[in-house]
């Protein structure tokens, strides 16, 4: 079969992998995510798919994050007619996240078109609308974790818990070809162990091929222990509260916000932080919190216990939800003493931008960064210490204190990945490292080689590999490099000799025929080497 890396290859976002069986009968996707981050990266969302959506049989969706699910409405809009298969948590989160993403596309497009109109340029259409997103949701099919799903006689798969966020899964995929059963594991996004809500990721024992995420492949989270993370949060809140300003927390609407709520609830109940107004100012985070309340079955024991006692782990008295835009704008008038948890987590869209605009210039304000900040985002610029940032076309001085909380990441770190891999009883034929920036991928590759001696490969965007073809099974980059070096070395040695001979020849008195004969010889040589490669 063929595996093509259509996103999150040498970058973090846009997860999308296509599997095509060798008999050409089946073609399906693992995830169909949106590219996020810099303007250049986001442009990729407007490009045509690298395949005909009508030819795709189904989509296996690992989790609801937009960089994994965000182009599914576009896929339907362009002719896809199959099912999207995912866990129940993922379906429900997609029911709010995809229409929200559609709405963001519409507003972004409207803003761009105003600019294009002024410049007399061609107008664009949104990638998809909220209505497109609602329309495709009826094709989502819920399946349970740990249950084998037979898609065809020769293709089956099973979701396993991946930690990370509610409903997130890794995929154990089995494909039978030429009487050979091949197993491929897609890690999806793997979470850290010991999270406030979700369970630890499932560990696998065998696979022929592994497609492994590397978001934090070269990092070690400062704090790994849940209790220590809570203590850190406690210290930072007490410190920031004493300064008198507002505490602004950009947080991913799904999972990070709810994790924070569990932590805050525990700190308040233990009287470790003062009781002051805490606002969840993100319609998406509010809807997601409601979904979490319906899915206790995914929670690990400690939180489930909480719920059994009748005190819900995510709710407390001084927690307020601001749904309407008016309520959100009221918060802009408050100069201190409140905490606002708002999305987007990377500060590049949504209500958080307003709160940053109204608080970044205040010396007594604090911004708590709780998660990954992609290259090119406002959040990344803040942690890199920029003194003036632009928000909604205005320049804003950064006088607030920016504090990055350690260990509050939805992604597993380097020691975590190595521990996760340690359950494998035998080396995979090939481990593809995806979903990471270059330094993270290279760092992870190095430690995997050092610790386990796995054969690893970092695929490029749109690169295709053949998983049954012996040549690619042995897609041996070291061997390739050595042979290529031999060829080029010999070629240059011979080229020098040929050049010397030509020089000597040119010193002779040649007629026109002899010159064109030499020219033909050189042409033939070029043709022969080209022909060889095309073969
Ligand atoms: Zn994710």
pLDDT in tens, 505-517: 888 888 888 888 8
Distance 169 CA to ligand 1 centre (A): 10
Give the C-alpha separation, 87 to 310, whole Å: 26
Ligand 1 geometric centre to CA of 163 (Å) = 10
Give domain status of residue 528, yes or no. no
* pLDDT value of position 310: 58
Q: What is the mean pLDDT of residues 309-337?
A: 89
Q: What is the mean pLDDT of residues 425-441?
A: 95
| pLDDT at residue 461 is higher than 90 | yes
Specify whether 242 is located in the same domain as 349.
yes
Do 424 and 332 lie in one domain? The reply is no
In the reported structure, the alpha carbon of residue 70 is separated from the centroid of ligand 1 by a whole-number distance in angstroms of 11
Q: How far apart are CA 330 and CA 204, in angstroms?
A: 50
Same domain, 103 and 245: no
Domain boundary among 351, 381, 404: 404
- pLDDT tier at 524, thresholds 50, 70, 90: confident
| Residue that wins the pLDDT comparison between 103 and 222 | 103
Give the distance (Å) from ligand 1 centre to CA of residue 507: 68
Q: What whole-number distance in Å separates Cα of residue 260 and Cα of residue 113?
A: 38
* Domain termination residue (choose one: 349, 371, 404): 404
Query: Could you tell me if 415 and 501 lie in one domain?
Result: no
443 alpha carbon to ligand 1 midpoint, in Å?
20
Please report, for the domain that includes residue 350, its CATH number. Answer: 3.40.50.10890
Q: Is residue 529 part of a domain?
A: no
The reported pLDDT for the residue numbered 305 is 64
Question: Does 204 share its domain with 282?
Answer: no
Torsion of CA 265, 269, 272, 277, to 10 degrees: 60
Ligand 1 centroid from CA 254, angstroms: 10
Q: Rounded distance, CA 231 to CA 237, Å?
A: 10
Name which of 49-58, 233-242, 281-290, 484-493 the model is least confident about: 484-493
Distance between Cα 12 and ligand 1 center (Å): 10
**C-alpha 68 to ligand 1 mean position (Å):** 7
Q: Which of 403, 400, 401 is nearest to 370 (CA)?
A: 403
Say whether both 439 and 321 belong to one domain.
no
Residue 178 has a pLDDT of: 85
- pLDDT of 52 higher than 70: yes
Lowest mean pLDDT among 56-60, 291-295, 304-308, 369-373: 304-308
Strand locations in 31-134 (E): 58-60, 83-86
Give the pLDDT score at 471.
Answer: 45
Mark whether 366 and 234 lie in a shared domain.
Answer: yes
What is the distance in A from the centroid of ligand 1 to the CA of 67?
7
Give the model's pLDDT for residue 472.
44
Q: What local confidence, expressed as pLDDT, does residue 313 receive?
A: 77
Residue 66 Cα to ligand 1 midpoint, Å, equals 8
Q: What's the CA-to-centroid distance between 511 and ligand 1, angstroms?
A: 71
Query: Could you give the angle at the alpha carbon of 71 between the alpha carbons of 252 and 59, nearest 5°?
Result: 105
User: 371, 404, 437: which is the final residue of a domain?
Assistant: 404
Given this model, what pLDDT does residue 1 score? 93
The domain total for the chain is 3
What is the 144 CA–ligand 1 centroid distance (Å)? 19
Whole-number pLDDT of residue 304: 64
More confident residue, 471 or 502: 502
Locus of tokens 């704090």? 223
In a domain, 12, yes or no: yes
Give 479 Cα–ligand 1 centroid separation in angstroms. Answer: 35
For 500, the domain range is: 479-523
The pLDDT confidence band at residue 176, using thresholds 50, 70 and 90, is very high
Question: At 4, is the secondary structure helix, strand, or coil?
Answer: strand
Q: What is the mean pLDDT of residues 83-90?
A: 97
Shared domain check, 156 and 113: yes
CATH number at residue 462: 3.60.15.10
The string of pLDDT tens digits covering residues 339-360 is 999 998 899 888 999 999 999 9
The answer to whether residue 197 sits within a structural domain is: yes
Same domain, 464 and 386: no
Whether 183 contacts 206, CB under 8 Å: yes
Q: Indicate if 58 and 105 belong to the same structural domain.
A: yes
Query: How far, in Å, CA of 349 to CA of 125, rounded?
Result: 19
Judge whether 513 lies within some domain: yes
Residues 193 and 265 in one domain: no
Q: Are residues 262 and 298 in the same domain?
A: yes
DSSP 245: S
- Peptide bond connecting 303 to the previous residue in cis, omega within 30 degrees of 0: no
Give a yes or no: residue 191 inside a domain.
Answer: yes
Task: Spell out where 25-168 has E strands.
Answer: 27-30, 58-60, 83-86, 140-142, 149-150, 155-161
Q: What is the largest CA-CA distance in the chain?
A: 102
531 assigned to some structural domain? no
**Residue 197 C-alpha to ligand 1 middle, in angstroms?**
15
Q: Is the peptide bond before 344 cis (omega within 30 degrees of 0)?
A: yes
- Does 282 reside within a domain? yes
Share of the chain above pLDDT 90, in %: 72
pLDDT band at 476 (very low <50, low <70, confident <90, very high): low
Indicate if the pLDDT at residue 307 is higher than 70. no
How many A from CA of 529 to the centre of ligand 1?
A: 46
């Amino acid at each position: 079969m063929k595996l093509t890396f259509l996103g999150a290859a040498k970058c973090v976002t846009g997860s999308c992998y296509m599997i095509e069986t060798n008999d050409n009968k089946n073609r399906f996707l693992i995830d169909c995510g949106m590219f996020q981050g810099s303007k250049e990266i986001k442009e990729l969302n407007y490009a045509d798919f690298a395949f005909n959506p009508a030819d795709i049989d189904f989509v296996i969706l690992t989790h609801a994050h937009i960089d994994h699910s965000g182009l599914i409405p576009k896929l339907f809009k362009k002719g896809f007619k199959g099912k999207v298969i995912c866990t129940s948590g993922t379906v429900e989160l997609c029911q709010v996240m995809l229409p929200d993403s559609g709405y963001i596309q519409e507003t972004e497009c409207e803003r761009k078109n105003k600019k294009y109109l002024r410049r007399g340029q061609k107008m664009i259409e949104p990638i998809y609308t909220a209505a497109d997103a609602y329309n495709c949701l009826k094709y989502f099919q819920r399946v349970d974790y740990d249950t084998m799903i037979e898609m065809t006689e020769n293709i089956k798969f099973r979701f396993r818990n991946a930690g990370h966020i509610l409903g997130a899964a890794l995929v154990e995929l089995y494909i039978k070809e030429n009487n050979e059963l091949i197993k491929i594991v897609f890690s999806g996004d793997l979470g850290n162990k010991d999270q406030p809500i979700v369970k630890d990721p499932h560990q696998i024992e065998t696979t022929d091929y592994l497609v492994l995420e590397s978001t934090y492949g070269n990092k070690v989270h400062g704090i790994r222990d849940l209790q220590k993370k809570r203590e850190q949060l406690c210290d930072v809140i007490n410190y920031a509260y004493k300064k008198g300003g507002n505490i602004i927390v950009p947080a991913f609407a799904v999972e990070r916000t709810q994790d924070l709520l569990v932590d805050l609830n525990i700190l308040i109940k233990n009287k470790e932080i003062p009781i002051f107004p805490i606002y969840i100012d993100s319609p998406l985070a509010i809807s997601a919190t409601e979904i979490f309340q319906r899915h206790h079955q995914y929670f690990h024991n400690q939180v489930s216990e909480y719920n059994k006692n009748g005190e819900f782990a995510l709710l407390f008295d001084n927690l307020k939800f601001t749904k309407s835009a008016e309520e959100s704008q009221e918060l802009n008038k408050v100069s201190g003493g409140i905490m606002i948890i708002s999305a987007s987590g990377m500060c590049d869209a949504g209500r958080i931008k307003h709160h940053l605009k109204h608080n970044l210039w205040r010396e007594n304000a604090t911004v708590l960064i709780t998660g990954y900040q992609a290259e090119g985002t406002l959040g990344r610029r803040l942690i890199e210490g920029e003194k003036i940032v632009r928000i909604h076309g205005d320049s804003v001085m950064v006088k607030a204190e920016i504090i990055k909380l350690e260990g509050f990441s939805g992604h597993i770190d380097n020691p975590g990945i190595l521990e996760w891999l340690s359950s494998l009883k035998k080396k995979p034929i090939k481990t593809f490292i995806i979903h990471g920036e270059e330094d993270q991928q290279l760092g992870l590759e190095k430690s995997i080689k050092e610790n386990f001696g796995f054969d690893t490969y970092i695929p490029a965007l749109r690169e295709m590999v053949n998983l049954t073809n012996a040549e690619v099974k042995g897609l041996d980059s070291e061997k390739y490099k050595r042979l290529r070096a031999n060829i080029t070395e010999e070629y240059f040695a011979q080229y020098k000799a040929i050049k010397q001979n030509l020089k000597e020849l040119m010193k002779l008195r040649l007629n026109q025929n002899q010159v064109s004969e030499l020219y033909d010889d050189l042409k033939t040589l070029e043709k022969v080497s080209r022909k060889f490669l095309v073969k």
